[in-house]
Amino acid sequence: MERLSFIQEASNKHKLKILLTFFIILLILISIIVAIFATFKELILNPYVNSFRSAVKYEIENFSPTGLFYIGLFGGLFFVPLPQELFFYYGIVKQNPIIWSLIMVNAGYLIAQFINYYFGKLLSGFFIHLVSKKRVYKMRRVINKYGTRGIVIFNLLPLPSPLLTFALGLAKYNLWRLIFYTALGSFMKCGVIILFFFVTN
């Protein structure tokens, strides 16, 4: 039986203070974003920005390799769940270059995983005060032991792998190992989709 008695747990009062501080900071950030949008509304809505937005929308709607990059980037974020597998399949059904589509969707997806990881890492100090520290350290040991297989499986199957990346950021898992096995699982999944496309067409 593991002994973790040396880890000092935060009191409920301390956890409540941390939670209230988080909500106050969140409220301040939302206020700043609203103020910036109100101040620079004309700049944000100017024709050049609108034309760029329209171009991105056009690429996404046509599932072009560039559109798949944006889908991989935005859909790979842990707070924007998108069925990327389906979009990638539509992209190759539309006769887009398969290799280029494969590279672009995974490039966008891997950039999103960097963002997810750093969000998790940034918030790890906050979360460690809200949950049991013993559980966090126990989870880190389990992740270090079995993490690579879990990362590949999560990225190979249609599971919420961006959430896993965020959680691994919280646990401060090795970033380069995470990216390698994420890429491996993601490329394998795309390979299965390409194989399915050739078998069914």
Cα(143)–Cα(145) distance, integer angstroms: 5
Retrieve residue 37's tokens. Answer: 């949008």
> What is the band of 11 on the pLDDT scale with cuts at 50, 70, 90?
low
Asked if the structure places residue 35 within a domain, the reply is no
Contacts of 90 (CB under 8 A, 6+ apart): 63
pLDDT given for residue 143 in this prediction:
67
Asked if the structure places residue 165 within a domain, the reply is yes
Taking only the tens place, the pLDDT of each residue in 19-56 is 676 677 778 878 777 777 767 666 666 666 677 777 77
Asked if the structure places residue 101 within a domain, the reply is yes
Retrieve residue 143's tokens. Answer: 């992740």
Look up the domain containing 170 and give its range: 46-200
Asked if the structure places residue 16 within a domain, the reply is no
Asked if the structure places residue 33 within a domain, the reply is no
38-42, 129-133, 172-176: segment of lowest average pLDDT:
129-133
Domain count, the chain: 1
| 193, pLDDT greater than 70 | yes
Retrieve residue 140's tokens. Answer: 């880190």
DSSP for residue 131:
S
pLDDT given for residue 6 in this prediction:
43
Whether the Cβ atoms of residue 182 and residue 78 lie closer than 8 Å to each other: no
Asked if the structure places residue 17 within a domain, the reply is no
Which range among 37-46, 138-147, 177-186 has the greatest average pLDDT?
Answer: 177-186
Asked if the structure places residue 153 within a domain, the reply is yes
Task: Count the residues in the chain.
Answer: 201
Find, among 84, 81, 49, the residue nearest to 63 by Cα.
84
Find, among 171, 151, 176, the residue nearest to 161 by Cα.
151
Cα(101)–Cα(89) distance, integer angstroms: 10
- The model's pTM: 0.74
Asked if the structure places residue 116 within a domain, the reply is yes
